[in-house]
Structure 1
């Protein structure tokens, strides 16, 4: 089965997109701990 060049480019783009999302989620996972520690303060400020 021969893969057309356009199909190869699409697979490359999807692969790069997957890596970008993976790195973004990994950095977001690190920031989520800080966000969760600040969340009670933010909700307290919004409620009062």
Structure 2
């Protein structure tokens, strides 16, 4: 039982990791979205649009 009770505070301590996760996805996501948009812009003229 002591190990189970000790694991609950560890789960609460992982909450500060959420902003880091959002920040890391933002750093990766913005260039990724930009690349997808630029690729679509480059490909659309090939289809006559």
Normalised to the residue count of structure 1, the TM-score between the two structures is 0.54
Runs of 4+ in 1 over 4 A off after TM superposition: none
TM-align CA RMSD:
1.7
| Structure 2: 5+ residue stretches without partners | 1-11
> When the two structures are superposed, what TM-score results if normalisation uses the length of structure 2?
0.54
**Larger Rg belongs to:** 2
**Gapped runs of 5+ residues in structure 1?**
41-48
Q: For residue 32 of structure 1, what is the aligned residue in structure 2?
A: 40
